[in-house]
Amino acid sequence: MYQRVYDRLAVMDTLRGVGGALAHARLPLVVLALALNGIGLVITGERWRGVVAALGSPLRLSRTTLINLAGIFVRNATPTTGLGGDASRIALLRAEGVPLARATASFAYVRLSEVPPLAVVVALSTPAIASLVRRSHTALIVTGAAVVVGMAIAWLARHRLRAHVASIWTRTGHLRIGPAPAARAVCCATLAQVETIARQIVVAAAFGVPLTIQQSATITIMGIVGGFVPTVGSVGAIDGSMVAGLMLFGATVEAAAAITIVGRVISYGVSTAAGAVALALLGGRRILRGRQDRLQDVVARRVQSL
């Protein structure tokens, strides 16, 4: 009984600490983080615009930005780990007159453009993650075993993988984009990752917690991993990953929770609300009602065939 009362008091103290941290946040830095988030959304809209235009279906930046925002709303409002959001983007591109093959290809190019900057972010976070793994003998063994198994599978499947890639290359000849548009897409994806890392640093600074670029990159990767958990908007999974990452780098539980709350209000709350408005402006409910289920199946089949 006494333990239960003590635990309850500890929780109340933590909540009061979080409230105090939120009350003393530096508002100009929070506003700056909000502005950075808006810039990141426009950058992503430009990435979609550039890819779709390279495929032969030019659209205005305002339309692709709205389409991306609408996809964010669908992704955050449903437990789809991203597939629902991308299927809705394809449906909305179709409504803008983009043929299904081009709309689906644009989704593939946009996602592929994220690979190089994500690889850089992973490389930045590797020292911190390796340090964390070294603290646990079990984690070290499991990580080493996973790497060895992954390399063995890749080696055994190399011939089939090579043939599969060659087949895709042949079948998608009419849907290729040039090196310049591809480079611009990678550049936009890189800028979007820079914005995410910078925004986390700014939000943490608003609560007096200094983060280095490497530390922010590590928290970003932890959040991305949490995003694969199929909950609505990955609520809970991403938040827990962010709190754990911030505490790993010296933040108190109160500061970590406050930083996570503000960061998620910006990246999840504001973006989702803006996405709902974008979906309404695009007439998306009517469009998606008839197409989204079918498009999810189409996208899933095309992704599996890649």
Q: Give the whole-number percent of the chain exceeding pLDDT 70.
A: 71
Q: Higher-confidence residue: 53 or 24?
A: 53
Q: Report yes or no on 177 lying in a domain.
A: yes
Which range among 23-32, 121-130, 154-163, 192-201 shows the weakest confidence by mean pLDDT?
154-163
* Dist CA 189 CA 304 (whole Å): 23
The pLDDT value given to residue 8: 55
Q: Report yes or no on 253 lying in a domain.
A: yes
pLDDT band at 301 (very low <50, low <70, confident <90, very high): low
Q: Report yes or no on 279 lying in a domain.
A: yes
Q: Which of 123-127, 184-188, 280-284, 286-290 has the highest mean pLDDT?
A: 184-188
The pLDDT value given to residue 113: 93
The pLDDT value given to residue 168: 59
The pLDDT value given to residue 127: 78
Q: Report yes or no on 15 lying in a domain.
A: no
Q: Report yes or no on 36 lying in a domain.
A: yes
Q: Report yes or no on 156 lying in a domain.
A: yes
Nearest CA-CA partner of 101 in 304, 234, 279, 295: 295
pTM of the model: 0.78
pLDDT at 74 over 50: yes
The pLDDT value given to residue 294: 56
**264, 117, 227, 28: CA torsion to nearest 10:** 0
Q: What is the mean pLDDT of residues 13-25?
A: 79
Asked if 285 and 279 touch (Cβ cutoff 8 Å), the reply is yes
Q: Report yes or no on 8 lying in a domain.
A: no
Q: Report yes or no on 1 lying in a domain.
A: no
Structural domain of 240: 26-305
* Dist CA 70 CA 92 (whole Å): 9
pLDDT tens digits, 83-114: 777 888 998 999 889 998 899 999 989 999 99
Q: Higher-confidence residue: 221 or 49?
A: 49
pLDDT band at 221 (very low <50, low <70, confident <90, very high): confident
The pLDDT value given to residue 2: 45
pLDDT at 292 over 70: no
The pLDDT value given to residue 169: 59
Q: Which of 214-223, 283-292, 297-306 has the highest mean pLDDT?
A: 214-223
Asked if 263 and 229 touch (Cβ cutoff 8 Å), the reply is no
296 CB neighbour count, 10 Å cutoff: 18
Q: What is the mean pLDDT of residues 141-163?
A: 69
Mean pLDDT over all residues of the chain?
A: 80
* Dist CA 175 CA 181 (whole Å): 13
How many domains, in total, are found in the chain? 1
The pLDDT value given to residue 186: 95
The pLDDT value given to residue 151: 74
